[in-house]
Amino acid sequence: MVKIVETVLRDGHQSLAATRMRTSDMIPMLEQLDEVGYFSLEAWGGATFDSCLRFLNEDPWERLRTLKRHVKKTPLQMLLRGQNILGYNHYADDVVAEFVNRAVDNGIGVIRVFDALNDVRNLEVAMKTAKSAGAHVQGALVYTISPYHTEASFLQVAQDLKQLGADSICIKDMSGLLSPYAAYDLVKTLKDNMDLPIHLHTHYTSGMASMTYLKAIEAGVDIVDCALSPFALGTAQPATEAIVAALEGTPYDTGIDKEKLYPIAEHFRTVKKDLADEFKLNTAIGIDTKVLSFQIPGGMLSNLLNQLKEQGMADKYPELLEEMPRVRAELGYPPLVTPTSQITGSMAAFNVMMGRYKIVPREVKDMVRGKYGRMPAPIDPEFRKLIIGDEPVIDHRPADDIAPQLETLKQELADKGYPGASLEDVLSYALFPEVALAFFAQRA
């Protein structure tokens, strides 16, 4: 029996509707979603936290409590970027631990945690805290393709995640790079060598996702992520209804009654149309197999093109496509996922606009300094010298260098007119200071 995580409340609209779904769009269907029989409802974390505060004038913590009030049986799942929490930098351990505790207290049951570089040291605090808070801790390995990423190296990451207390392992294929037969082999390797449930998360970006699920299922994968059809396909997940139907009457039957899904999907079809109208979104995103050649996630291709257009250098686009994998190799083959995708992408853009490494953003230097963790591949010493000169490289866990921040943040917030703010507000402020302050002002 295969289980399903429903992503319509998080990754579905993050991928296809710029994360603009409001809590009020979700509420009417929550009881029905709770009755379907999903493994979990992915509903929080990722970009939703930022989007609530920045675009929707909503308190993300209030959203979580509201969801929890309506969803009584099915665990609510969130996506957490390890020591980055939901931001783009490393935070101090006390902030990470408090965030995880508040998330669980407010209703999260399953925490999927990943590190962009697969450096599990960046997951230690989040995983340990989630575990003692009583959540299901899902350790995710970020899937990518490079000469340094092999089945053996992924198995090693998975085993390290198990050591840290993972209750299940997720293969996180954020760009839809995992091909059906590679999925079969990887899942088989993990299943043969560990006794934890294996979970697969992919995106339709390259057009292979349903085939990838089918082969992974044949190899014994336990759980797959799907989105109800209005928020499926394109750059999102395979459609829940289709996967349920495809497995019906087989040994992999999900046990889900697809009739229950249709009215819920109908509701979200209307929601998608409303969001597209209100926020002027292009929700008709097709597949793009170019992602397989350049390994650049779909959304990023258009961002990079826009960056070039702004500089009047749109003609450099083909050059940029070639530059991106080169930069990635020089930087030690980071998987391209937040925040490494943005860092690698802007470096490549600077290189084609200004000349190679004429301007090097701080984040790139920090990555070479080891401040994001261990790179998957060794960085050539000559290249390192070009970027950071003779500066030392960190070989310990980056957050070891970050002093506790929570008390300082509370004080800062008090100084800005919010004495005695809730821990939840302090954490919102920790992650997105300006955006959170603007939200607090409006809320008051």
Residues near Co ion (CB under 5 A) are 11
Distance between CA 219 and CA 257 in Å, rounded?
A: 24
Minimum Å distance from CB 361 to Co ion? 25
Distance between CA 231 and CA 71 in Å, rounded?
A: 20
Minimum Å distance from CB 387 to Co ion? 30
What is the DSSP secondary structure assignment for residue 326, as one 8-state letter? H
Output the DSSP codes for 345-367.
HHHHHHHHHH-TTSS--HHHHHH
Task: Give the residue with the Cβ less far from Co ion, 19 or 66.
Answer: 19
CA nearest neighbour of 254 among 227, 231, 206, 222: 222
Task: Give the residue with the Cβ less far from Co ion, 47 or 95.
Answer: 47
Task: Give the residue with the Cβ less far from Co ion, 11 or 124.
Answer: 11
Minimum Å distance from CB 145 to Co ion? 17
Task: Give the residue with the Cβ less far from Co ion, 78 or 421.
Answer: 78
Distance between CA 216 and CA 338 in Å, rounded?
A: 25
Task: Give the residue with the Cβ less far from Co ion, 5 or 30.
Answer: 5
Task: Give the residue with the Cβ less far from Co ion, 299 or 433.
Answer: 299
Minimum Å distance from CB 152 to Co ion? 25
Minimum Å distance from CB 225 to Co ion? 7
Q: Which residues contact 309 (CB under 8 A, 6 or more apart)?
A: none
Minimum Å distance from CB 46 to Co ion? 7
Minimum Å distance from CB 236 to Co ion? 8
Distance between CA 276 and CA 262 in Å, rounded?
A: 21
Tell me the sheet residues that pair with 239: 227
Task: Give the residue with the Cβ less far from Co ion, 11 or 59.
Answer: 11
User: Which residue lies nearest Co ion, judged by its C-beta?
Assistant: 11
**Contact at 8 Å (CB) between 371 and 394?**
yes
**Contact at 8 Å (CB) between 121 and 164?**
no
Number of Cβ atoms within 10 Å of the Cβ of 192: 10
